[in-house]
Amino acid sequence: MIEVQDLTKSYGAVTAVDHISFSVNKGEILGFLGPNGAGKTTTMRILTGYLPATGGTAKVAGFDVFEQSMDVRRHIGYLPENPPLYNDMTVATYLDFVARIKNVPPGSRARRVDTALEMTNITDKRDELVKRLSRGYKQRVGLAQALVHDPDVIILDEPTVGLDPKQIIEVRRLIKGLAGNHTIILSTHILPEVSMTCDRVVIINHGKIAAVDTPENLTSQIKGGERVHVEVRAPEKALSDLLRQIPDVRRVSVETHGNVGRVSATVETAAGKDVRSQIAAKIVGQGYDLFELRGVNLSLEDIFLQLTTEDPAHKATEN
Amino acid sequence: MRNLYAIYRKEMGHYFVSPVAYVVVGVFLILSGFFFSRIMEAVIQEALEAAMQGMQFGGAMPVDVPGIVLRGFFNVISFFLLLFTPALTMGVYAEERRRGTMELLMTSPVTDEQIVLGKFFASLSLYIIMLLPTLCYAVYMFLHSDPAPPWKLLFASYLGAVLLGGALLAVGSFLSSLTESQLIAAILTFGVFIILWVIEFAARGGSGDLSALFQYLSVTRHFDDFSRGVIDTSGVIFYVSLAVLGIFLTMRSVDSMRWRRA
């Protein structure tokens, strides 16, 4: 449904999105996870046809976002970071206007507006002026706006920001319910949000894709492992065999540097196990020269450190 | 066409729920009503004096009271337009940019041209609605004056007012698309209008091509022809091209919003 190839966007010398590629299947919910300023919003804006890319291609529902922008826009519902609302309209008039500019046929317009109101649970606010609504309701009107023309693809930029815990749960349930008939991309900087709603996650940092995987795999990767980097003068094969003998070691990858006989190895272990002293003992015991031994942070971890792992909705249900 | 109408409809709805339109139209009508009555009193006074002199010395020249009143009135109107139209256009794009609703419009299957034209025709409609009540002054003159006011003069004056207004609204909308602040948009527009107005004074007394050019560029000078009852093609062309230029620049400016850093 969505195919992105080598997409790049630079503003002068600053590269906001740097050669990213990913695809989203029909009916899937894809999460964009990354700290603020990672390039999530820029990528979404390119997909919706709001911003032109500097390079690469992107296709939505089979249409190129640059060449066939109008077709793409017809197939997309988009909720920007700040819901694009007209303060002096009522909720129903606003949704009617959006339905008009999204080319909903006149015959089904009233029905579509009613459905969008129901789905986002704001039917009782339909005649209220937008400016009198609370932040949470405004966010839901923004969501209704993205759904009103029943688009194939829905792009939501931080859809749960500013909502109270109860509303967050409602919105997540709504998004999950939309999957199947709709293809959804949502961005967030809250880690648990992704595992709760998304089928797959793209982790973006500094405009680059750091990882693409299912939430389960990613969490086990991140939470369940430590890495140690060693540099030794030893035969490659012997070193790798030696390191594998250590209990709790899961994976060893060995690489030879230049021709001085030095070999560097990365040792992955189960979480919470520190095998550094055992590695040192083994290597010295074999009489190899040990040049370096240090723990390595997973690059994903760096990113995750900047993410919010605390889920506001979760906190409230506990209390 | 349906998209253009949707934008138009939204803009009109916006005008009539926001206080700006009511304040602008209201103040405009109060001031124009006041000036109309002052001008009429003054002209009638002069006409009476002229008639009395005519009776004393014979060979009185009949004074065209309705014609003079209309001419004076429309000169005042043309000046008011420079003051009031910036208030009608200042928010057209600036407010949408500030609220982020421009992003909604620009990611909907609506072309930039439809957005710009829809907004332009909405502001033009509001402007015509603002002018319409002044027709009752004309009706008043038809009921009470002898000779009746010249039809052609009245028609030419209103045509001129609509053309002048259309040009000013197009330029004002363009300036509104350059900023996110309504206040900055209004001040910019006001400044540009004043320049387009006083450019004529700069040309006065001078001669040569430059002075002729300045004269041509003055927005109010062309209006004088209309308020004298002359529908001059060069005036029509001037206003229409100024409006087209404004609309074209607005379209470019809306397009360029995509290329600027958000």
Q: Say if CB A223 and CB A193 are below 8 A apart.
A: no
pLDDT of residue A221: 63
pLDDT of residue A310: 59
- Which ranges in chain A belong to alpha helices (H)? 40-47, 69-75, 91-101, 106-119, 135-147, 165-178, 191-197, 215-223, 236-244, 276-285, 299-306, 312-318
Q: Over 70: is that where the pLDDT of B98 sits?
A: yes
Query: CA torsion, points A221, A222, A224, A227, in degrees to nearest 10?
Result: 90
**CA pair distance B99, B95, nearest whole angstrom:** 6
Structure tokens at A5: 């190839």
Would you call the peptide bond into B147 cis, given omega within 30 degrees of 0 as the criterion? yes
CB contact under 8 A, B18 and A73: no
**CA pair distance A277, A185, nearest whole angstrom:** 45
CB contact under 8 A, B10 and A97: yes
| Phi, then psi, of B38 in degrees rounded to 5 | -65, -45
Q: Identify the band that residue B59 occupies on the pLDDT scale cut at 50, 70 and 90.
A: low
**CA pair distance B135, A149, nearest whole angstrom:** 44
Quote the percentage of chain B above a pLDDT of 90: 47
Question: Hunting for tokens 């948009």 — which residue is that?
Answer: B185
B191: left (phi over 0), alpha (psi -120 to 50) or beta: alpha
CA A74 to chain centre: 24
- Quick: pLDDT tens for B142-165: 887 777 778 888 889 999 999 999
A33: β partners: A188, A203
**Is B108 in the A-facing interface, judged by CB distances under 8 Å?**
yes
Rg (alpha carbons) of chain B, rounded to whole number: 21
Rg (alpha carbons) of chain A, rounded to whole number: 25
Which DSSP category does B83 fall into? H
- Quick: pLDDT tens for B177-212: 999 999 999 999 999 999 888 887 777 766 777 777
Q: Identify the band that residue B259 occupies on the pLDDT scale cut at 50, 70 and 90.
A: confident
**Is A102 in the B-facing interface, judged by CB distances under 8 Å?**
yes
Task: A43-46: list long-range contacts, CB under 8 Å, 24+ apart.
Answer: A43/A4, A43/A7, A43/A9, A43/A17, A43/A204, A44/A78, A44/A155, A44/A157, A44/A185, A44/A187, A45/B103, A45/B262, A46/A7, A46/A9, A46/A17
Closest CA to B12 of B111, B90, B88, B107: B88
Query: B208 Cβ partners below 8 Å, 6+ apart?
Result: none
Q: Say if CB B65 and CB B47 are below 8 A apart.
A: yes
Query: A178 Cβ partners below 8 Å, 6+ apart?
Result: A147, A154, A184
Q: Identify the band that residue B105 occupies on the pLDDT scale cut at 50, 70 and 90.
A: very high
Has this prediction a pTM greater than 0.90? no
Which among A70, A88, A98 is the nearest to B14, CB-wise? A88
DSSP string across A49-62: TSS--SEEEEEETT
B124-161: buried (b, 16+ CB within 10 Å) or exposed (e) per residue? bebbeebbeebeebbeebeeeeeeebeeebbebbbebb
Which DSSP category does B180 fall into? S
Cβ-Cβ contacts under 8 Å between A and B: the total is 72
Give the 3-state secondary structure of residue A8.
strand
Mean pLDDT computed over every residue of chain B: 88
Query: B121 Cβ partners below 8 Å, 6+ apart?
Result: B4, B8
Q: How far is the alpha carbon of A113 from chain B, nearest alpha carbon, in Å?
A: 16
Interface ipTM above 0.90: no
**CA pair distance B104, A84, nearest whole angstrom:** 6
**Is A73 in the B-facing interface, judged by CB distances under 8 Å?**
yes
Query: B146 Cβ partners below 8 Å, 6+ apart?
Result: none
**CA pair distance A100, A98, nearest whole angstrom:** 5
- Quick: pLDDT tens for B19-52: 888 998 999 999 999 999 999 888 888 888 888 8
**Is B7 in the A-facing interface, judged by CB distances under 8 Å?**
yes
Which among A74, A84, A145 is the nearest to B109, CB-wise? A74
pLDDT of residue A306: 58
Average pLDDT over every residue of B160-173: 94
**CA pair distance B168, B192, nearest whole angstrom:** 10
Contacts of A98 in chain B (CB under 8 A): 104, 108
Structure tokens at A161: 């920001």
Give the 3-state secondary structure of residue A149.
coil
Compute the residue count for chain A: 319
Q: Over 60: is that where the pLDDT of B173 sits?
A: yes
Q: Say if CB B96 and CB B177 are below 8 A apart.
A: no
Q: Identify the band that residue B262 occupies on the pLDDT scale cut at 50, 70 and 90.
A: very low
Closest CA to B83 of B190, B242, B172, B220: B190
Amino acid at residue number B84: F
Closest CA to A61 of A23, A92, A94: A23
Q: How far is the alpha carbon of A154 from chain B, nearest alpha carbon, in Å?
A: 12
Please identify every stretch of chain A with a pLDDT value under 70, giving residue numbers as ranges: 219-225, 258-259, 271-272, 296-319
- Quick: pLDDT tens for A53-78: 888 889 998 899 888 989 999 999 99
Amino acid at residue number A248: D
Query: A131 Cβ partners below 8 Å, 6+ apart?
Result: A87, A88
CB contact under 8 A, A102 and B108: yes
Q: Identify the band that residue B245 occupies on the pLDDT scale cut at 50, 70 and 90.
A: very high
**Is A78 in the B-facing interface, judged by CB distances under 8 Å?**
yes
Q: Identify the band that residue B227 occupies on the pLDDT scale cut at 50, 70 and 90.
A: confident
